[in-house]
Amino acid sequence: MSRRAHRRPAALPPAKAQGESAAPSARETGEPPRRRPGIRIHKAMAQAGVASRREAERMIAAGLVRVNGEEVLQPGRLLVPGDRLSVAGRGVAWEGGAPHELWALYKPKRCVSTLSDPQGRRTVKDFFPRTEQRLFPVGRLDYDAEGLLLLTNDGELAQRVTHPSYGMARVYLVKVRGTVAAAALRTLARGVPLDGRTRRPARARILHTVNDKTWLEVVLREGIQHHIKKMFLAIGHPVLKIKRYQIGPVELGDLKPGQSRKLGRADSERLMGWAESFRRGQRAASRGGAGRAGADEVPMLDLPAEELAAS
């Protein structure tokens, strides 16, 4: 007589209580897991043109944001259709959003890059163009600095321009006290320790030197408060003047202090493209690839002699 192999019976699922039913899981149905409905508050504020995501987070932390009349302190709170959002007492139409605009502004000296100032100083809002959209400045320039500042109501674009992970190049004309040596430029190219950590390499080249003063072109891919002033002070050269000429592919052009010009969709797309290109280069470099994530791909300034003479 042949002997048959005996197999252990498969374990049975626990018995369900009478009347109990269980919905099939995403794995059983083959459908992707469902996301929680809604949109995070800081993202909704950015899309509505209130502020960039980072600025929106600061506004939330400061207690300026309310949903359905209740104060919100967490940027991760979700908004769902029908929720009433207000910022600093003003209602925000966050569902649908406003048409996006992008402007280039020549920020004058002795002007703060915020929409208000507790000290009563002049702000960039005094130079905003006439438009129905609610614009905000993208990033900042020091009070005594001048040059290109972007204005927009597109929070996603502002995030690409300002967040360090996108490495958006910013090009400056900088005048410092003293004669800058080649060794000092190499120090900048390695990255200078500021505010507790070594910063990204900065590209700098000497344009002109006269009477113990040096004019340089400087390219940064990140920005902290008073970045250029701290960086040059660290190598022994106090800054006398800062003028920003370029942000990514957008140039100051022939704008005069206080003037602005409206940019088109192509400019917005180029800015987004520059940001994504840098990020891809960073990832390729981290994997040992040939990606370039430095400032060397930004074209050098070709400043006329009268610009240097006027500086």
Q: What is the pLDDT of residues 122-174, one digit of tens each?
A: 999 999 999 888 889 999 999 999 999 999 988 889 989 998 889 899 999 99
Residues 109 and 177 in one domain: no
Res 168: pLDDT: 92
Per annotation, catalytic residue among 117, 142, 254, 267 = 142
Residues 153 and 261 in one domain: yes
pLDDT, mean over the chain? 82
Helix (H, G, I), strand (E, B) or coil at 116: coil
Residues 192 and 223 in one domain: yes
In which domain, by residue range, is 194 found?
Answer: 169-247
CATH number for the domain that contains residue 80: 3.10.290.10
Rounded distance, CA 177 to CA 135, Å?
37
Res 5: pLDDT: 47
| Choice between 293 and 210, residue whose per-residue pLDDT is larger | 210
Mean pLDDT across 79-103: 83
- Give yes or no for a contact between 21 and 63, defined as CB atoms under 8 angstroms apart: no
Confidence of residue 31 (pLDDT cuts 50, 70, 90): low
105, two tokens: 């502004």
Res 297: pLDDT: 54
Residue 185 lies in a domain: yes
Mean pLDDT across 181-210: 91
117 catalytic per annotation = no
Res 77: pLDDT: 86
Mean pLDDT across 224-244: 95
Residues 181 and 223 in one domain: yes
Residues 81 and 210 in one domain: no
Degrees, nearest 5: CA angle 271-274-278:
145
**Range from 1-10, 30-39, 51-60 that averages highest in pLDDT:** 51-60
Residues 73 and 185 in one domain: no
Q: Are strands 260-263 and 102-107 parallel, antiparallel or unpaired?
A: antiparallel
Tally of structural domains, the chain: 3
Residue 307 lies in a domain: no
Alpha helix stretches (DSSP H) within the chain: 26-29, 41-47, 53-61, 155-162, 182-190, 227-234, 265-286, 305-310
